[in-house]
Amino acid sequence: MEHYAVIDLGSNSARLAVTKIMDDGTFENVVERKEAVRLSENMGPEKVLKQPAIDRTINALKSFKENFEDLPNVTVKAVATAATRMATNQKDFLAEVKAETGIDLEVIPGTKEAYYDYLGVINSLPIVNGIIMDTGGASTELILVQNKRIINLISLPIGSVTLSESDVIEDRPSAGQMYKVFDQLNEIYNNIWWLYRGTNLPIIGLGGSNRTLAKIKRRNDPDRKHWDDIHGFHLSAQEVKDIFLKIIDSTLEERKNIPGLSKERADIIVGGLAPAMSLIWRLNSDRMIFSKQGLRFGVLYEHISELRNNGKSTSINLENFEAPESDE
């Protein structure tokens, strides 16, 4: 028996999942935690992690550690994504985390992040064809899936925090601000040559911003008892558009009172949903499907697969997949 703790340090949130893996390969989740750390806050064009964000992150990691340090036979896998990946003071940050928490953070490239997203989705939902989209605080991953296999993937250096900070859309966004955001996204998508192959396919939404769409809709369901159970939940493209319209037509204070939209995300939700909205229009997708199992569970599924195969790696070669220069 093994306890496997996965820490996913993103640009906006830090997440923990602890899983008990039995000797026969079965497993059960025993701990799930999330803390909003805003690690990418105010990084600016110089791409420097700021001390307030670093302090929030270290406090969250210390809190996470309390959930697994006393468990028997614990293995820890801690990965850091976009904010840490692009930070010019990455080395100092990793050293400070190690000194303060004892946790070794592994900075993974965007293509690896996208691959883990794929593993999390494909092992937990009956997805055959679609575009997996994980919108985080400072990056967005896109994965084209056909016949359950990865065809192409890419990590883009845009996310809910970076789009919101660069285009100042904290309060009710103006038409000019929205035009600027969607024009930027259009240019980015134009440069992904394979994206047209996702035309008319569903979008599988990962990340807190995308999942907020499902949570808002579920809060309006007659049975609200399990409103946050959105794994596998579907929304039509029109339902997504209606929710987005309500969000952009609200002030910051009004957004904080929308059921299903957390107050801590209200200031970045417009920027966080813009990539998905732009993709829906471009691909003429008729629906979004939502997944609660992304990177953390992808790491878990890879580990379990390796255990079942006596330690043989099951990872695919990502060298031929696209990644923007900023991921290097």
Residue 320's pLDDT is what? 58
Residue 90's pLDDT is what? 98
Q: Where in the chain is the domain with CATH 3.30.420.150?
A: 127-290
Residue 314's pLDDT is what? 60
All residue ranges of the chain with pLDDT < 70 are 167-170, 222-227, 311-328
Its sign, for the CA torsion 100, 46, 155, 317, is: negative
The CATH code belonging to domain 127-290 is 3.30.420.150
Residue 321's pLDDT is what? 59
pTM of the model: 0.92
Residue 223's pLDDT is what? 66
DSSP at 317:
P
Residue 221's pLDDT is what? 74
Strand, helix or coil at 257? Answer: coil
Cα→Cα distances 240→82, 203, 212, 283, Å: 26, 11, 10, 14
CATH homologous superfamily for the domain 2-107 = ATPase, nucleotide binding domain (3.30.420.40)
State pLDDT tens for residues 186-219: 999 999 999 999 999 999 999 999 999 999 999 8
Give the pairing type, strands 234-236 and 287-290: antiparallel
Listing DSSP states for 147-200 in one string gives: TTEEEEEEEES--HHHHHHHHT-SSSPPHHHHHHHHHHHHHHHHT-TTGGGGTT
Q: Where in the chain is the domain with CATH 3.30.420.40?
A: 2-107
Residue 169's pLDDT is what? 67
Spatial distance between the Cα atoms of 114 and 282, rounded to a whole number of angstroms: 21
Is residue 16 within 8 A of residue 5, CB to CB? The reply is yes
Residue 168's pLDDT is what? 60
Calculate helix-pair angle for 175-190, 269-283, nearest 10 degrees.
50
Radius of gyration for the chain, computed over Cα atoms and rounded to the nearest angstrom: 19
